[in-house]
Amino acid sequence: MTSGLAAQHTARAARWIDILRRQFPELLEELAPGRPGAGTRSRPPLGPAALRALGDRDAAERADALLGEQHGRAPLGASASPIRLHVSDAIRDIADGVVELEEAVWEKLGLGRPPRADVPQRLGRVTALLDDIAGHPVLARHVLDECRRMARRCGRTLGDPETMVRVNGRCPWCDSVSLRAMPAWRTVLCVNPGCRCTDEECPCADNAAHRHSWMETGWAQLAADSGADADEIATLVEGADQIDEAGAA
């Protein structure tokens, strides 16, 4: 039986899938030294082995680029290498994510294992199953979350800025009104450059580019420590998500 909320989730997932299907091919073009012009033959899609080879190259630079992306920073430097690594990481993440998502959907719906296909084809098959997915509320929410995450990462890699939303309350570590939510990552962080925490597992003390952050599972404790409201944080994240979705569509 389809619930109203699950139907809303699949309807929104359909829009994110459409955005991702339109933008993902542009990531493949970003890896090429020059984009094919009018009347030239397009390059064939890169296979999984080629994508992994690109993603595994220069691990140190790739890790630094990803850390910057997670904290809202664009890749630094004028050379092509960090940008290429930034793109190849996004391609690998999205390609793997789409495979895992479709396999989870087929398994939950009792369809077995999906045949091999490229990313747009897999997304098209997920779209065709959205009515069935709506009958499983937990699965519907998972599909929405994953499609939104991958579409927004694709957009950021292509140059779309990440939305940051101000969160009421004060940072428990530096007492400044510098808490911001990053909806795509479902994370709250302190944007005060001078903020340093005492958490031994947090790299903010050793890395000036890092900001102490709270994942969704830590919002209740953050609210208790900062004077913010956990429900308000969730509402801000969802609200920013819907605004971005409408703008991207």
pLDDT per position as a tens digit, 100-131: 999 999 999 999 999 999 999 999 999 999 99
- Do residues 81 and 203 both lie within one domain? no
User: Where does residue 30 fall: left (phi above 0), alpha (psi -120 to 50 degrees), or beta otherwise?
Assistant: alpha
pTM of the model: 0.55
Calculate the alpha carbon distances from 2 to 128, 137, 145, 148 in Å.
16, 8, 18, 21
Which of 157, 188, 217 is the last residue before a domain boundary? 157
Residues 14, 131: one domain?
yes
Could you give the 3-state DSSP secondary structure of residue 214?
strand
Whether residue 63 sits in one domain with residue 131: yes
Judge if 229 and 149 occupy the same domain. Answer: no
Structure confidence at residue 45 (pLDDT): 47
Taking only the tens place, the pLDDT of each residue in 152-205 is 888 878 876 666 788 889 999 999 999 988 776 678 888 888 888 888 777 777
Is the pLDDT assigned to residue 247 strictly greater than 60?
A: no
Q: Are residues 223 and 102 in the same domain?
A: no
137 and 84 share one domain: yes
**Residues 3, 137 contacting (CB under 8 angstroms):** yes
Clarify whether residues 10 and 126 are in a common domain.
yes
CA 187 to chain centre: 11
38 and 84 assigned to the same domain: yes
Which among 157, 180, 197 is the end of a domain?
157
Q: Say how many CA atoms lie within 13 Å of 1 toward its Cβ.
A: 1
Identify the domain boundary among 125, 157, 189.
Answer: 157
- Number of domains the chain is built from: 2
Among candidates 72, 75, 100, which has minimal Cα distance to 191? 72
Domain containing residue 176: 165-248
> Is 90 exceeded by the pLDDT of residue 15?
no
